[in-house]
Structure formats: C-alpha cells, structure tokens
Amino acid sequence: MAVNMKGKDLISINDLTVEEIYQIFDLSRALKEKQLTGESHHYLSGKTLGMIFHKRSTRTRISFEVGIYQLGGIGMYFGPDDLQLGKSENIYDSAKVLSRYLDGLMIRTFSHQDVLDLAKHSDIPVINGLTDLLHPCQVLTDLFTIIEKKRILKGLKFAYIGDGNNMAHSILHGCSKVGINVAIASPSGYTPQKEIVENAARNAKYMGSKVEIIEDPIYAVRDADIVYTDVWASMGQESEASERRKHFMKYQINPELVKNAKDDYLFMHCLPAHRGDEVVDEVIDSVNSVVFDEAENRLHVQKAIMALVM
C-alpha cells in the first residue's frame, strides 16, 4: 500500500522510512519513463514551488525549476538578496507569509538550522536542497541511480573517499537505511560528525549491514561496488582549499586506487568535479563512470519528491 507523504518535509534521509524511500524510487522510475516517452504528467498543475538559494547552483536550480514545470506547476526563484528571510524579518514570520502564497518550499543554504526553523514554522512542505550538514536529494538520486545500474541495493559495498562533509553525512544516512555496507575514508580531522555516524550504525545494525569510518582509502575501496568522491573544499571553504589539498592528495580517485574495487564498480560524484584533484579524467570519463546519468536523475527523483509531498 502506498504511503501518504503529502505535506511531509524532506530535511534528512534519516527522517524517511524504508517504505517512503522506495516509494520515491518507484515514482522516480515512472516519471522518468513518462518524460522519455513524452507522456504528460501534470501531477502538480496549479501548484507553486518557492526556491530559496543562498548558495549558487547549477544542478539543483535547473532540476527543480524544470521539474516543477514538467509537473505542471510553477517555480519561483529567490536569490540571496530577494527575500527578508532571516535578515530584516525573522524566519517565523517569513515562513508564515510564504505558506500563504506557496504550495512548497525548496531551500539551498549554509545553515542547517535555518532549514529546520523554516520547516518548523511553515504550513507547507519544505525540501532541503542542500545545507552544510546534509544533501538528501543528491543521495536519494545516487541510490536511485545505483538501483538502475545494479538492480539491487542491500548488500552492496559503497566506498566514499574524501571529506566527511554533507555528502558523507547523507551517504551514511541513505546507505544505512537501505542495507548498503558503507566505508568512509577520510583523513584525520575531516571525518563525519559522530552523531550522524552513530545514527547510521543503528540503522545498519537493523538492516544487517556495516558502517566503517577509516583513514585508509585502499581498504575502503577494496571490493567496492560503488566508489564515490566529492570536492575537497566545499562552497564557503575556498580559503581552506590549499591546506586541504595537502591532506587529501592521497585520497584522489585514480586508476591505481580503483584497481582495488570490483571490475564493474560504479564511479559516482555529485558534481561539480575538480578534475585533477579529487578525481582524474581517466576515472571520471571511464566506462565505470555514471556521473552524468546521476546528474540527470536529480530531475526525476526531485520530481517524485515534489509530487509526493506537495
């Protein structure tokens, strides 16, 4: 039986049930097929999505804006200087006002607390498009892409190599929820937050899978079905890029490292990629790479999320 998700916020994958996650995947698959065959799917006709961006964006903005349009609705873009949100108007008042005008909100911002506050005070569903803590829409897309390629999730091995950032956090949530064994390899001082690791460990225990936080990238990649990385310095950390590069060079995804993965491993990256830093051309452009399928699927998965919650 389908789970009713109407009105539900999507702040963290950890807040979703396994049934809700697979419902998102099932609808993503159906919407992708409809889009490819040209079948109309105006599930959100007359609905309006507010899109708040405090961070610049390529994939998030375009996929949400195109997605709401393809669902028959309208997307309204608000840049960093377009709203009073958290500036001359507090989040409580802004949330109440926006709830009177809109049918849903997507926000891409720095502070995770801002998203929590917006969701707490809004009367419409709030979708986390990215914060410094989490990136749930991306990882739901990653898992959907893995299903397309591997046909299964439970029991696979997922190796994430690099910074213990918002991507690592959502990967921990997502993999542990669906029974994927996940190994995170990060240098000392750049590991994921303890609370998120503990949450993932509890989920993994329930699902019969493993969570490993280690420093050795070779060990993490050994026999992996998926090899994943992200930029070494995220948006807002540009001043740290040079220092971070010193710590992360041995975490580069290159042909020598991926020899340790399974022959049919998938290489994934949320993009944008800094070629020559966290990954080299020989890997990102290889037959194992699915980064552009992954990028496309942001559209289909986010359409499913919007259709279910709005």
Q: Is 138 known to be catalytic?
A: yes
Q: In what order do the strands lie in the sheet with 48-53?
A: 74-78, 48-53, 104-108, 126-130
- Strands (DSSP E) contained in 113-208 are 126-130, 157-161, 181-185
Q: Which of 117, 230, 277, 302 is catalytic?
A: 230
Q: Is 108 known to be catalytic?
A: yes
Residue 215 tokens read as 């420093």
Task: Return the CA Rg of the chain.
Answer: 19
Q: Which of 70, 138, 252, 302 is catalytic?
A: 138
Please provide the DSSP assignment of 106-123 as one string.
EEE-S-HHHHHHHHHH-S
Other CB atoms within 10 Å distance of the CB of residue 271:
16
Q: Which of 270, 277, 300, 302 is catalytic?
A: 270
Q: Is 135 known to be catalytic?
A: yes
Q: Which of 135, 169, 173, 244 is catalytic?
A: 135
Please state, in angstroms and rounded to a whole number, the distance separating the CA atoms of residues 306 and 265.
Answer: 31
Q: Is 270 known to be catalytic?
A: yes
141 contacts 301 by C-beta, under 8 angstroms: yes
Q: Which of 59, 298, 300, 302 is catalytic?
A: 298
HEC per residue, 42-110: CCCCCCEEEEEECCCCCHHHHHHHHHHHHCCCEEEEECCCCCCECCCECHHHHHHHHHHHCCEEEEECC
Q: Which of 108, 169, 173, 269 is catalytic?
A: 108
Q: Is 175 known to be catalytic?
A: no
Q: Is 247 known to be catalytic?
A: no
- Catalytic residue annotation: 108, 135, 138, 230, 270, 298
